[in-house]
Amino acid sequence: MIILVTGGTGYIGSHTVVELIQAGHEVVIVDNLVNSKKSVLDKIKTITGIKPTFYEIDCTDKEALEPVFKAHPFDGVIHFAGLKAVGESVQKPLMYYHNNVLSTIYLSELAIKYKVDRFVFSSSATVYGDQEVPFVETMNLLPTTNPYGETKAMSERILKDAATVNQNFKVSLLRYFNPVGAHESGLIGESPNGIPNNLMPFVSKVAKGELEILSVFGNDYDTPDGTGVRDYIHVVDLAKGHVLAIEKLQDAIEIYNLGTGHGVSVLEIVSAFEKANAVKVPYKIVDRRPGDLPAYWADANKAYEKLGWKAKKTIFDMCKDSWHFEKNYKDE
Ligand code: NAD
Ligand code: WQD
């Protein structure tokens, strides 16, 4: 297939581009580089031998996007492009709604106009809100605690409505849990600008000595060790899930959780990281972070039953690969 990957120079997008190319697909990337670097294209070439066609375009610029659809006979779109910092979305809600929702509307309009009948969307476990765990795809979506989460829920609804009335426009909504880790080559991974918001990049920077100490946000939750529990998933497993989701897309609307099905605590991550990499990660317990849920993980059975997809990599792999990338990473 010929696949348009928006956000393809970003963290999850770049790993998915590698897996798509290795599965024999042709990839065209659109990204405005707001949170990634063009040098990722050379890294993709080093890993796969192929440098994908790249357009530096903002997905909220429909006029600039349309010629890309005219130039390539796409079979599918995988839409990763989006802003993802939860805290920033509270401070700048309109920027988040504009960027994340408008891009979804324009891309689906163009996909329908140019008869591109497969559309895979990056959603998030955050759309489940606060309800019983594990989260199952059949659950209703509950309000999230931030505009970022709302942009994901809105985009899901928009795509579902579009797929309901447009025959041949099929959507796959992929709800990611907590993606971590990096490609085993150490060439691509997550390199957030400034101080990371997420746990694994923060742990990596503490291990490297770039940050002094990890703040563990609360140890008084109702969890085995009192710290928050999440379903961490290796980004390469996640990327492989996208390849299967787009290849096997059949129904008008398909929804899958992409997680391991197991919860792991903050202190378990710290300890696994220290063991996997023979490093020290000093930490201190601080107050809970507002908006955090105590514990959630995926019911990951549906993706296995329908797509034959299962996360294979362990917490050890996630810690090892995150560290390998962090050690190699140079700000280019
Ligand atoms: P990322 O920031 O590394 O990648 C997103 C890419 O999109 C970046 O390269 C950025 O430059 C680009 N982009 C943003 N807005 C754009 C626009 N208007 N036009 C063109 N390009 C634009 O983030 P990621 O972690 O790879 O996330 C990819 C997708 O998955 C996002 O939609 C994110 O919300 C979603 N998601 C991420 C996580 C996570 O924890 N990383 C979890 C659930 C869902
Ligand atoms: C994980 C655990 C923290 C940092 C976020 C988004 C979610 C999704 C994935 C996009 C929690 C604890 C963290 C630190 C800590 N993104 N923690 N010290 O909050 O589960 O999910 O990213 O869709 O929408 O909300 O991920 O990595 O920030 O936190 O103790 O410095 O680590 O409290 O228990 P989160 P996270």
DSSP 176-199: E-EEE---TTSSS----SSS-SSH
Give the model's pLDDT for residue 307: 98
Select from 29, 30, 33, 34 the residue to mutate for testing ligand 1; criterion: most ligand atoms less than 8 Å from CB.
34
> Cα-flanking dihedrals φ and ψ of residue 197, to 5°?
-90, -30
Annotated active-site residue 55? The verdict is: no
CATH number at residue 102: 3.40.50.720
Residues sharing a CB contact under 8 Å with residue 1, sequence separation 6 or more, in sequence order: 25, 26, 75, 76, 118, 246, 247
Which residue segment(s) compose the domain that 69 sits in? 2-180+232-260+295-311
Candidates 58, 198, 201; CA nearest to 126 is 198
Q: Is residue 225 part of a domain?
A: no
Q: Is residue 210 part of a domain?
A: no
Helix axes 102-113, 62-71, angle to 10 degrees: 30
Report the distance separating Cα 212 and Cα 282, nearest Å. Answer: 8
Q: Residue 72: what residue type?
A: H
Question: Is the CB of 48 within 6 Å of ligand 2?
Answer: no
* Confidence label for 194 from pLDDT (cuts 50, 70 and 90): confident
> Cα-flanking dihedrals φ and ψ of residue 173, to 5°?
-100, 115
Of 57-61, 142-146, 302-306, where does mean pLDDT reach its minimum?
142-146
pLDDT higher than 90, residue 1: yes
Select from 68, 80, 124, 172 the residue to mutate for testing ligand 1; criterion: most ligand atoms less than 8 Å from CB.
80
pLDDT higher than 70, residue 332: no
CB atoms < 10 A from the CB of 63, how many?
8
Give the model's pLDDT for residue 330: 77
Share of the chain above pLDDT 70, in %: 100
Give the model's pLDDT for residue 31: 98
Number of structural domains the chain divides into: 1
Asked whether the beta carbons of 135 and 82 are under 8 A apart, the reply is: no
Q: Is residue 240 part of a domain?
A: yes
> Tens digits of per-residue pLDDT, 220-255?
999 999 999 999 999 999 999 999 999 999 999 999
Mean of all residue pLDDT scores within the chain: 97
Q: Is residue 241 part of a domain?
A: yes
Query: Ligand 2 centre and the CA of 321: distance in Å?
Result: 19
pLDDT higher than 80, residue 331: no
Q: Is residue 188 part of a domain?
A: no
Question: Is the CB of 146 within 6 Å of ligand 1?
Answer: no
pLDDT higher than 80, residue 320: yes
Q: What is the pTM of this model?
A: 0.98
Query: Ligand nearest 269 Cα, by number?
Result: 2
**Looking at residues 20-45, what average pLDDT do you find?**
97
Atom 7 in ligand 2: residue holding the nearest Cα:
126
Q: Residue 190: what residue type?
A: E
* Confidence label for 193 from pLDDT (cuts 50, 70 and 90): confident
Query: Ligand 1 centre and the CA of 53: distance in Å?
Result: 19
Question: Is the CB of 156 within 6 Å of ligand 1?
Answer: no
* From 96, 148, 256, 296, active-site residue: 148
Q: Is residue 318 part of a domain?
A: no
Q: Is residue 324 part of a domain?
A: no
Query: Ligand 2 centre and the CA of 303: distance in Å?
Result: 23
* Confidence label for 25 from pLDDT (cuts 50, 70 and 90): very high
Q: Is residue 69 part of a domain?
A: yes
**Looking at residues 252-268, what average pLDDT do you find?**
98
pLDDT higher than 80, residue 120: yes
Residue 106 carries which DSSP code?
Answer: H
